[in-house]
Amino acid sequence: MMERSRAEDAAKWGWALLIWGAPWSHAAMTLGTVWVTLCALLVLKQRRTPSKSSGPLIWLLGLFAWGWLSLLWSDNLDWGLQLASIQVTLLTLAFSWHVVPRPDLTAKWVFQSAALAMAGVLAWGAWRVGQGEVLAGRDWTPWTSHIRLAMLAALGWVWGAQHQSKTNLLLFGVLWAFFTAVTGSLTSAFLWPLALIWVLWGRFSPSARRGLLAGSAAITLTLAGGMALWLRPVPLPVPRAELPAFTAQGHAYIHHPERVVSEGGHRLHLFLCPTEWEDAWSQISDLPLHEPNAAGFTVRDRLPRYLTSLGWPKDGEHILQLSPQDVRAIEEGATHATPAKGLRLRLRELRREWEVWQDGGNPSGHALFQRIAHWHAGWHAWMQSFWVGHGMGDTSSAMEQAYAQLGSDLAAPHRHRAHMQHLTWGISGGLIAMLLWLGFARAWHQGIGKHSRVALWGGLVVMLSCVFEDAWETQAGVVISFLALFGAFQRPAQTD
């Protein structure tokens, strides 16, 4: 076995900067990338470094080269060049890892970096909550997104299973569960059980694995059944014929029993009497019913939802029964009498998204269901330039045109890009880019993925992340995707 040169030894500090800095600092990721690249170039200058895993690199180079070529038919060169500068980082890091890999350190560092990042997020968030602040899910992760941290945690837990004690693995799992609970990250909630199964599978005997598989299937079916029951429409409180026609003040109620949107286990579109709202509200609050708050919402938007969560009719009589605390909460934008945070709030929002979608409502602002509109528009955009795409710089304009052509219900602020990296390749580079993407996936599996369970797990994490976001359009997404795809690859031993 050849001894490491000084350049190879120095490269570990670049990898350290990259791995430890990924959750916190763009500057650390940039410096780490430059460092390891320079070390790799020095090593190549000193001697040739053969490898049996050049296939993925060649396909990756082809994919990016086609993207850069597509700038020739892009109108928005500024965005195209910015995106190219981000994505070239992955190619540079893959090349550097090909030359100066340190898999002996990477698994340990990723485990520790993910644990430190989640602990830091929880400590920082707890301090802010202690100062009286109210944190929404994304407020807990100001340095990098909860999706990136969930990906890093997924890698750390599985890779850590190769060298960490059972106690450390258990503590990591508990820490990750707390992180998931406070941020309300559905990505994290999805990856956590998958990572747990992957870890246990590697530690169990063949006979125990059969039990794990059966148990996992049973739990999955139970959860799916429970979710289906939970998402059923809230039943009507009384038969349709018995719904009251008038309020205590003699005004007509409005009932829409065919609509299923609910709050707190009660139907929203029953017992409505908007005629009485303004007069009753003015008796208990100085804030006008139709005046928007800082977020753009009015009391009129919030009031019926809040009353519904209490199980009360939406009429003047019940508005006057609101307590001062209720009035203050509504003025501040509350929609539910029982506040929720983290994952509980996210599940509540998910149910509302589902019910609004069932009622044919607008999915704008609904993180999960508006993605369906994104994907629909993305597919339409790709079909408009099927073979070569619209060019790396024009993905946004192609999506804007698709939304307009489809007559999308999404409000302008929510008309994002495809939010699916797999589809974005088609929009920007057409069928040729899609074939190169699939070619890279196959070459990666043949050269890296099938030789190691931990490496295969990294590929699965990247594949899933690319379903729900444009994972390769941010620096942190590119760096963590690189670690997932190449960080578990160990170069074959070299001989003199």
Residue 276 · residue 269 · CB < 8 Å = no
Question: Considering Cα of 307, then 313, then 319, then 322, what sign does the dihedral take?
Answer: negative
Give residue 297's pLDDT: 85
DSSP assignment of 401-455 equals HHHHHHT--S-GGG----S-HHHHHHHHHHHHHHHHHHHHHHHHHHHTGGG-HHH
Domain containing 273 equals 240-331
pLDDT score recorded for residue 370? 93
Residues 81-104: tens digit of each pLDDT: 999 999 999 999 999 999 999 988
- Examine residue 323 and state whether it is found in any structural domain, yes or no: yes
Question: For the segment 14-39, what is each residue's pLDDT rounded down to a tens digit?
Answer: 999 999 999 999 999 999 999 999 99
pLDDT at site 135: 87
Residue percentage of the chain with pLDDT more than 70? 97
Burial of 452 (0-12, 13-18, 19+ CB in 10 A): middle
Specify the pLDDT at position 198.
Answer: 97
Q: Report if residue 310 sits inside a domain.
A: yes
Of 320, 330, 323, 305, give the one whose Cα is nearest residue 247.
320
Q: Establish if 391 belongs to a structural domain.
A: no
Which pLDDT belongs to residue 314? Answer: 98
Total count of domains within the chain = 1
Q: Is residue 249 part of a domain?
A: yes
The CA distance from 348 to 341, in Å, is 10
Determine contact, residues 440/472, Cβ cutoff 8 Å.
Answer: no
Tens of pLDDT, residue by residue over 247-274, are: 999 999 999 999 999 999 999 999 999 9
Name the H helices within 259-319: 277-282, 299-309, 316-319
The band of 496, judged by pLDDT with boundaries at 50, 70 and 90, is very low
pLDDT for the residue 322: 98
Say which range, 76-80, 290-294, 379-383, 422-426, has the weakest mean pLDDT. 290-294
Tell me, what's the pLDDT at 288?
95
Of 392, 476, 424, whose CA–CA distance to 81 is shortest? 392
pLDDT higher than threshold 90 for residue 53: no
* Average pLDDT value for the chain: 93
128-139: average pLDDT = 88
* Predicted local distance difference test score (pLDDT) of residue 3: 62
Residue-wise pLDDT for 373-388, tens only, equals 999 999 999 999 999 9
Within-domain flag for 173: no
Q: Is the separation of the CB atoms in 471 and 85 below 8 Å? A: no
How far apart, in whole angstroms, are the C-alpha atoms of residue 372 and residue 31?
A: 38
pLDDT, tens digit (0-9, with 9 covering 90-100), for 195-210:
999 999 999 999 999 9
Q: pLDDT at position 205, please?
A: 94
- Would residue 277 count as lying in a domain? yes
CA-based angle 493:201:115, to the nearest 5?
Answer: 75
Read off the amino acid at residue 475: Q
Would you say residue 307 lies in a domain? yes
Query: Residue 371 corresponds to which tokens in the numbers above?
Result: 């993605």
Over the stretch 137-180, which tens digit does the pLDDT of each residue have? Answer: 888 998 999 999 999 999 999 999 999 999 999 999 999 999 99
Pairing of strands 266-267, 262-263: antiparallel
Candidate from 322-326, 367-371, 403-407, 486-490 with smallest mean pLDDT: 486-490
Write out pLDDT tens, residues 208-225.
999 999 999 999 999 999
Q: Identify whether 289 is part of a domain.
A: yes
Position 51 pLDDT exceeds 70: no
Q: Are 308 and 314 contacting, i.e. CB atoms less than 8 angstroms apart?
A: yes
